[in-house]
Structure formats: C-alpha cells, structure tokens
Amino acid sequence: MKVFDAKHIKNIVLLGSHGCGKTTLAETMLFEAGLIQRRGRVEDKNTTSDHHDLEHERGSSVYSTVLHTEWRNFKINIIDTPGLDDLVGETMPALRVADTCVLLLNAQHGVEVGTDLIWERMLHFERPVIIGVNQLDHPNADFDGTVAQAKEHFGSAVTVMQYPVEQGDGFHRIIDLLKMTMYVFKDAGGKPEKQPIPDAEKERAEALHKELVEKAAENDETLMEHYFDKGELTEDEMRIGLKQGMMKRTCFPVFCLSALRNMGSGRLMGFIDNVAPCALEMPAEPLVDGETLACTVDGPTVLFTFKTTIEPRAGHITLFKVMSGEVKEGMDLVNDNNGSTERINQLFIVDGKERKQVERLVAGDIGGTIKLKHTSTAHTLHTPGSAIKLQPIPFPEPHLRLTIKATDQKQEEKLHAALLEIQKEDPTITLTYSRETAEQIIGGQGELHLDLLKWKLNHHYKVDAVFGSPRIPYRETIRKPAEASYRHKKQSGGSGQFGEVHLKIEPWYEGMPEPTGHSIRGKELHELPTGGILAFYNCIVGGVIDNKFMPSILKGILGKMDKGPLTGSPARDIRVIVYDGKMHPVDSNDISFKIAGLMAFKEAFMHASPQLMEPVQEIEVRVPADLLGDVMTDLQGRRSVVLGIEAQGRYQIIKAHTPSAELDRYSTTLRSLTQGRGTYSARFHQYAAVSSDLQNKLLQDHKEEEVTA
C-alpha cells in the first residue's frame, strides 16, 4: 500500500441532511479514482460506505464510515457521516479529525432542518467548508434558490465557484468560474469535455468570476495589490486567495454536483487536492494543559482516537488520526488518559468494512489498529517520555433519558454487559443507576437513537429490552416544628426490648440560630447522600438515655429519612432535637433505641406539615423565531416559569424553570412543534415545593402502588 507524504494527504468529512446524497458522492469519488470498478447504490444495499445490516435495513447511513480515494497523486481520506441529529455521536468525532468539511445541499430542498443542526455542530470546530449543491438533475432542482438560502443561513462567505447551465433532467453542463470554462458531461457522467463558455452565458459568468476574484483577493494584501494593478488574478493566485479564505472561514466555495449521475465529483476532488488545506497547514491542536500541538512530520508520534468499533472476530478496532510524527507497527505508545502502555501490533487503513495493511502512517493521515486494551474514543497516545493530552471531543448531553431493563430478568447481567460495549462505540449513550428509584437509566439523543440501540441489543446481543419513563426523585421535608415520643417495648421470654425517645423536629436552613430551651450536649451535621442536611442534637440531661444509645437513635432517624414517611422519597433539611426518654437497665439495647428513634421521628414528621419537593430544571430552549409562540404555550402547560427570552440570529432562546416531571420525552415534543429545528438543554436548578393538589395526587398514587406491590 502506497504511503503518501503529509503534504499530499487531505482529510474531508461529508456532511449534510438526511437524503442529500453523501454516501452516493463517496461511492462516486471512489469509482472516479478507480478504487472500485462498479458504483454501488444505497437502494441496492451494496455501497462501500453503508455496509452494516442496520443501514441496509433502514436504507440510510447510521454509522460514520472512513474511506479513502487517490486523485492525481493526492490521498483523500473521506469520512461519510449520517445526516440525522440523533446520530451526532458519529458526526462529532469525524468533525474533530477532518481538515475540511464538505457540506452537501439537496438542490430540490435547499437548506434543510438537518443542515442547520449540522451547521451548529460545525461552528464549534471552525473548519474550512466546501458546499456542494447536489441532485441538480432532479426535476425540482433550484440552484439559485439553494445558494440564496445558503447565504441567508451561513452568511456572505458562501461563494459561487460553479453554476449549472441547465437543471433537472437535462442537467449536463457546468460553468466553472475559476477556470472560466464549461464542462460538458455525457449522459453516463464521468470525465467531462471542456468547452468555451457559450455567448449566452458570458455576461453572467464574467460577473460571477469577478466576484470570485474579489473574494480571493480580499484575503491577502499582495493579491489585493495585484488585483488593483491588473484588474485580474491568475488561476494560481486565485487558488492561494481561496485557500486563505477557506482557512479564515471567509470563503465557502460552492460546487455543482449530480453524485448519482457522476457529474462534478472529479472537479470537486481536484479542488480538494489543490486548494483545501492539509493537516500540516491547519492551526495547532489545543492540549488540555493550555499548550498546543503542531502537526509536523518531525514531531513526536501522537495519535488521537476518534472511533471505536467492536467486531465479533477482530474484537476492538480503534480508528485514529496521526496528529504528529509517524506511527509504525510494533511501536509502544503511552495512553495519556490513563497512563497505560499500548503496543501497535497491526496498522491499516480502512475502506468501509475492508482493511488494508500498511507499514507506517505519517502526520495528518487516518488509520486504524486492533486490540488496544485500555484505549477508548477521544484518547491520546504518544511516544514515552512526554506528557501530551489533546482536548476531548465535546459530545452533547443526552436529550432523552429512559429506564431500561431486560424483559427476561435472567438476562439483566447480559443486558448490562451489552450496554457497556455499546457505550464504547457510541459515547453519546449514557448509562446510570438511580439508587433511590432502583432504576437503570439509559440516555440518548432522541427516540430514534434509542430505537436503534434497541435494534442492536436484539440483533447483535440477542437481548430483548424494554424502555420506560424514569420515576421522579422527589424529596420530603417539613414546614413547621412538631414533637413526638415513642416507647418501644417487647417482651417474649428472656431478654426483652425497651427504649423510649422524646424528640422535636424543625425545618433546617443555613445559618439558623441554635435551639433554645434545651441543654445541647452534642451536635452533628450530616450531609445526606441524596442532598440536604440532617442536623442532629443530643439534648439529653440527667442520663435518662445513655450516650451509647445516641448513635442507634440517629441510625433509626437516618433510616427513615432515606425512605421518607410520605412517599418513600428521601427526606431532607430537618433539625432533630432528642431531649428526653427512658431506658431499662436490662432490656434496653441498640435495636430498641433505633426503632424508638425511627418511630418517634415518623410520628413527628407527619404532624410537622409535611411537604413533598420536586426537582426543577433550568432549561434553555432554542427555537426559530416564527415558532416561539407555540413553544411558549407548550412550556406554560408544563408548569414552567419563564425567566426571559433572548434573540440569537434567526432563533430565540427561552430560559425557564421547569419541573423534571414535565420534561418526560420533551425533546420529542419539541422536535414535533418545531419541525425538528428546536433544541434544548437542561441542568438541575433546585428542589421546590409541589402544589397541594399535586401532592395529594402523588400521595394517593403512592398508596395504590403499595397496595398492588
């Protein structure tokens, strides 16, 4: 396998909304370069990129796939990505290691919802962008309308490099404004014939060419001077200016394509070769310690892992980008994320499911290896003797959290092991266990994301699982002081049990004054594992309860606070004052005072105006301005307190406090209300009192659950 030098390696990621033709374009690029002899079709389930059973069943990309092609002595690494936002876990790693984004727009639909969402992801990485207007052979294709939408959504950096002479079924001619020539394609596509620009198109072509020259010149003072002097730039000068514009993100060149009919892909690949930056030309990568790492061939060997897959025979396959130096088989590298040492036993490049062994890979290239024991996605591997850790991939938080359990309880262990394996492949899947609700919680980006997870469990791991809505982790507290006493007495032959506890409980808050009317013998503040405080005061005088029994009383109270008297939810923020009691010289023991303390606390709690508390989230909802009213109405129906609304371009940001109970599957509702354009984020804000009506309903529900349990 030929090893390319770093200057002749280009890394691109194909991005775009679902159905814009990314996989078809990737297939065409491989075919044009002669790396495959026959173009596959998504409908025929035989493309190089979409090779998984799940993709064949769905008829669309689910995974990001690494491919490569060779065009005029350049190697182009291609990462084909899915177009659905639920699969962002496949898109983000590809953006992290690509040097240029190729954003495809469907000429019949323009800038779609999915395109806007992908653009938001792209903004974080600030990569150069090439825009491809695809499917210009469709009867409803509208190149000018698509470009106008692109400028509206992405700004004035959108720069026309080509335009079609005709569109729809007759599409076969493209005017190239850099070379100022016309490409004429045969019906079967492939290599076009170069012809002069027709007289009928000269005026438009010259006007657009002038705009292109000005766009190239504005990025370099020397080029600007040449342009002022000569009124023109050479083709090579324009390439220099366009590359600088792409690097500065002031120029997003637009190309014409029909990937299905193999028209325009060769010109696009030539532009990637000649103009798109290689890794050596990209800005230095930021490190965790604040320093940067330049991509150089002579630097230390540094790999960044961006994808992990698990195959039945090969085991763990790790894909990486060489960020610096070069890597060879047999090298020992240190994983800076955990300090382990990994040996690179095999080295290969990948084309879909095919792997081709190579001797070495140099800075800027993308490859893979197998059986790394301690390395996961977004880890940094480097030569020993240095400390280098690249910034991680900023995966988004889950938008949907559901409970998950096996339909057959005997398969619970198998289910858990399968989920851990899936997490290694998809870091946007989260798995947590709620101790207080005794539920396993799975987090994902949306309904589709978790449906695909379920498919994998069924087909790959042979586990049948069921999803459900998580129980809300309510809390219990009190609103006024109350007193109670309880005598625990049990006599059944031999040693009996006896313990009597008198106590007072009060709402606790930070900075409250010490209790009066009691002699304080001891004070303990307990930060509860579920949040909140228990302030425990020993105010026993005269030795009516021996000090050795106070820990048992405390233990009983803590036990009842762990499963509160109202609904079994944890209690919090309570001050307990134990001030009197009785004991027996023979029958008193630890268990007696533990029970007495628990029961006295329970009785006092029920007389202290008990209050159920619910978790409230601080949310930010990002919605298109024209749909603000619908979303606001829905939020108000969810008991939200709207804090404010801010404008952000064409979007509005709603900030609100919303009870967690009202956010069950909210991401699905929001997508429905906004045609997929709305997104939201949430973080815990506080616990707040529920209304009396809701509290009564929850108490009734709890009683019914206890009856049926």
Name the pTM for this structure: 0.89
pLDDT bucket at 706, cuts 50 / 70 / 90: confident
**Distance from C-alpha of 657 to C-alpha of 336, rounded to nearest angstrom:** 40
pLDDT at 188 over 90: no
- Residue-level pLDDT at 1: 64
Work out the angle between the directed axes of helices 199-217 and 221-230 (0-180°, nearest 10): 140
pLDDT bucket at 230, cuts 50 / 70 / 90: confident
Calculated CA dihedral for residues 588, 589, 592, 593, nearest 10 degrees = 100
DSSP classification of residue 530: T
Residues 406-434, mean pLDDT to the nearest whole number:
94
- Using a 10 angstrom Cβ sphere, with 0-12 exposed, 13-18 middle and 19 or more buried, the burial of residue 466 is exposed
Closest-CA residue to 363 (of 291, 279, 287, 293): 279
Work out the angle between the directed axes of helices 412-425 and 447-459 (0-180°, nearest 10): 120
**Widest distance between CA atoms in the chain:** 115
Inter-residue contact 20 to 106 (CB < 8 Å): yes
Closest-CA residue to 143 (of 188, 121, 175, 118): 175
In 10 A of CB 481, how many CB atoms? Answer: 16
pLDDT bucket at 310, cuts 50 / 70 / 90: confident
What confidence tens digit (pLDDT) does each residue in 65-111 have?
999 999 999 999 999 999 999 999 999 999 999 999 999 999 999 99
pLDDT at 493 over 70: no
What confidence tens digit (pLDDT) does each residue in 145-166 have?
999 999 999 999 999 999 999 9
Token code pair at residue 222: 């020397």
pLDDT at 346 over 70: yes
pLDDT bucket at 392, cuts 50 / 70 / 90: very high
**Distance from C-alpha of 72 to C-alpha of 149, rounded to nearest angstrom:** 34
Structural domain boundaries in the chain:
6-192+247-281, 285-382, 400-468, 476-608, 612-694
**Distance from C-alpha of 654 to C-alpha of 527, rounded to nearest angstrom:** 34
pLDDT at 207 over 80: yes
**Distance from C-alpha of 661 to C-alpha of 93, rounded to nearest angstrom:** 33
Residue whose tokens read 């230390």: 300
- Residue-level pLDDT at 555: 97
Inter-residue contact 24 to 257 (CB < 8 Å): no
Residues 405-413, mean pLDDT to the nearest whole number:
95
CA distances from 5 to 305, 360, 364 (A): 21, 11, 9
Work out the angle between the directed axes of helices 199-217 and 235-248 (0-180°, nearest 10): 60
pLDDT bucket at 29, cuts 50 / 70 / 90: very high
Inter-residue contact 250 to 157 (CB < 8 Å): yes
Q: What is the mean pLDDT of the chain?
A: 94
pLDDT at 494 over 80: no
Residues 225-236, mean pLDDT to the nearest whole number:
88
Closest-CA residue to 356 (of 120, 20, 67): 67
DSSP string computed for 406-453: ESSGGGHHHHHHHHHHHHHH-TT-EEEEETTTTEEEEEESSHHHHHHH
Up-side HSE of residue 202: CA atoms within 13 Å toward CB? Answer: 6
C-alpha 240 chain-centroid distance: 36
**Distance from C-alpha of 521 to C-alpha of 512, rounded to nearest angstrom:** 18
CATH number 3.30.70.870 is the correct assignment for the domain at 400-468: yes
- Residue-level pLDDT at 386: 84
pLDDT at 2 over 80: no
What confidence tens digit (pLDDT) does each residue in 352-374 have?
999 999 999 999 999 999 999 99
CATH number of 476-608: 3.30.230.10
Residues 569-595, mean pLDDT to the nearest whole number:
95
CATH number of 612-694: 3.30.70.240
What confidence tens digit (pLDDT) does each residue in 606-650 have?
999 999 999 999 999 999 999 999 999 999 999 999 999 999 888
Identify each DSSP E strand in 491-572 by its residue range: 497-507, 522-527, 533-538
Sheet holding 465-468, edge to edge: 430-434, 439-444, 400-406, 465-468
**Distance from C-alpha of 346 to C-alpha of 319, rounded to nearest angstrom:** 12
Residues 384-393, mean pLDDT to the nearest whole number:
93
Residues 450-465, mean pLDDT to the nearest whole number:
96
What confidence tens digit (pLDDT) does each residue in 677-701 have?
898 999 999 999 999 999 999 999 8
Residues 329-344, mean pLDDT to the nearest whole number:
95
- Residue-level pLDDT at 650: 84
- Residue-level pLDDT at 314: 74
**Distance from C-alpha of 660 to C-alpha of 665, rounded to nearest angstrom:** 11
- Residue-level pLDDT at 563: 92
pLDDT at 709 over 80: no
Inter-residue contact 515 to 575 (CB < 8 Å): yes
Superfamily of domain 6-192+247-281: P-loop containing nucleotide triphosphate hydrolases (3.40.50.300)
Whether 400-468 and 612-694 share one fold: the answer is: yes
**CATH fold for domain 285-382:** Elongation Factor Tu (Ef-tu); domain 3 (2.40.30)
